[in-house]
Every structure is written in structure tokens, then in C-alpha cells.
Structure 1
Amino acid sequence: MEILTPAVIDPCCGTGVLTVAAEDYGYQEVLAMDLYDWGFEGRSGIDWLKVSRGELPARFQTDDFTVLMNPPFSLACEFVDQARVLGARKIVCFQRQAWRESQDRRTWWEDNPPARTWVCGDRAHTWLFHIPPEDRKGGRFMPSAWFVWERGHKGAEIGGAIWKDRRAA
């Protein structure tokens, strides 16, 4: 379990899964936003990739916030870059493991190694949330991981596996 800063931004909150999880863990300053309105109480119509620091609420205009996100796969690098531009102290990004495998992203990964990578030992059961529950047939289990960047991290990347039953590997 990563310890987040007191202030947390979920820039692509979708239906609010990560926002609610952060709040359930006791984080009280959680800012949810998304480009689209997926029915969650976060602010919609906000394009994270175009947000400037001055557009964020005052509490998030410091260098002491975490970006907790599950961005669109095709834009994940850009979402991490934007979190850095805005001054995030910590970035925690949930993605398919395939995100790290592409030759197209190789240079980006070499220039932006995470401090930690936590592989999900149990494959995540993921669905694009625009697919209604009644239309979700069969399984969609993806090998996924949490990628963590932390300002000031020095040294080798740390990794491990996490499991739903909370046993670390």
C-alpha cells in the first residue's frame, strides 16, 4: 500500500473508483475530475492534459499532492508528464502491464523510470465503463500494475507483487 500525500487528484475519475477508494482510506482532500461526465460527482469537462497549475484549487497549487489515476492507455505517458508539469510529489498510475512493453514508449520509460512497480498478482477484471453491465459477457482479465513515481527518488526501481488478499509477494 502506497502512502499518498494528504491532497490527492484523480484527473480521469470516470465512475469514481479511485476517488472513492482514496476517500475510504481516509484521504479527505480528493479532487476528482474528468473530461467526460460518467455520472460521478467529480467535475466533468476538464481536460487534464490542458489544465494549468493556476486552474487548480489553491490547495493543489503546491508541490505537495499526489496524482492517483487510471488514465486512457493511449494517453498514459502524457498524463504522467502532465502530473509532473503541475508539480505532483507522487504519481500513482494503474495500467496494463503492456504499457511498459512497447518500443514506441521505450525512450519515455528510459527517461522516466518509476520508483516502484507493483504487479497485481491477481489479474484485474476490467471493463470499459461505457459498456453496460448487462452487455459484459465473458471475462476481461488484464495483467495490470501500479506504477509509482516519487519526486526525489534515487536509485533502482523497486518492484513486487500485490494480491487481493493483501499478502505481499
Structure 2
Amino acid sequence: MAHDVIAFGSDMRDRKDGSFPVMDYTRSIPSFCPDSIISNPPFKVAQDFIDCALASTHDRVAVLLRLAFLEGRKRNEWFPSVPLARVWVSSNRISMPPGGTDISAEGGKTAHAWFVFEHGYSGAPSIGWIQKEDSI
């Protein structure tokens, strides 16, 4: 615990190194009731994950997802019902090889962004860019 922050990590499936306990988020998030959540949920369940996280937190939920998460008719109807405050687009492509593999991280091919949901936020989300700092 640093700076009065208690952190907990888990994964939805077992990885080779066993670094995180395996837990189903639909049970683990409500049982822990954390103040905030920072996660990289699987894209297929991202919307459900965010809904579950928002129902069990009272501060914020930040998720790293493909920028394409902004697309789609169903999400277009969903976004006004959630407190999306900010979208932080990565100016550099992030390399995310599949978890539990020996694939090395190289230049990524997909655009990613942090989606930050804040309880009590209303209005249009702001957009910003995360840039890799220049080497000195």
C-alpha cells in the first residue's frame, strides 16, 4: 500500500506465470466494491465490464481499449447513459501481444485509448492525446 492506495489485480484466465488470481469480474468486482477500477478488459466484454464496474464503484473506471470502441450503433445508444468523461488517445501504437504467450512486444498495429468514466460526470466527454516523451 503506497499513498494510502490499496491495489488488487486479477485476470479472467490463468496465465503461464500465475501472477494474478483468476476471477470472474461479474463476481469479483461486486464483492470487492473498489473505489475505482483501472483495467484492460477483453474487447468482447468491455461494455458489460464497464457496466459492472460502474455499478460497483463510486469514483471512476478507466479502461484501455481499442479506439474502435467508440464505433457502433448499439454503443451510440449506450454512451449517453454512462458518465464517459474523457478519452485519452495513444499517439503511439501500443503493442499488446496475447497474454501468457512468448510473443515479443513490437510496434502495435491497432489504435488504443483510455476511456475514463467518472461517477457524477455529465456532458460531452473531452478528448486528449497521450504522447511518448522524447528521449533526452
TM-score for both structures, normalised by structure 2: 0.82
Cα separation, 2, equivalents of 1:28 and 1:113: 23
Q: 1:49 aligns with which of 4, 26, 44?
A: 26
| SS of 1:161 mapped into structure 2 | strand
Query: Within 5 A, what are the aligned runs for 1:15-94?
Result: 28-38=5-15, 39-44=17-22, 46-51=23-28, 53=30, 55-56=31-32, 61=33, 65-94=35-64
Cα separation, 1, equivalents of 2:124 and 2:112: 21
Higher strand proportion (structure 1 or 2):
1
Match of 1:126 in 2: 96
Q: 2:73 aligns with which of 70, 90, 103?
A: 103
Cα separation, 2, equivalents of 1:113 and 1:102: 18
> Contact between 2:94 and 2:107, CA under 8 Å: does it hold in 1?
no
How much is the aligned-residue C-alpha RMSD, in angstroms? 2.6
Identity among equivalent pairs (%): 26
TM-score for both structures, normalised by structure 1: 0.67
- Report 1 or 2 for greater relative contact order, CA contacts < 8 Å, sequence distance ≥ 6: 2
Number of residue pairs the alignment of both structures matches: 133
Match of 1:156 in 2: 124
Partner amino acid for 1:112? V
- Name structure 1 gaps, 5 residues minimum: 1-5, 7-22
Partner amino acid for 1:92? A
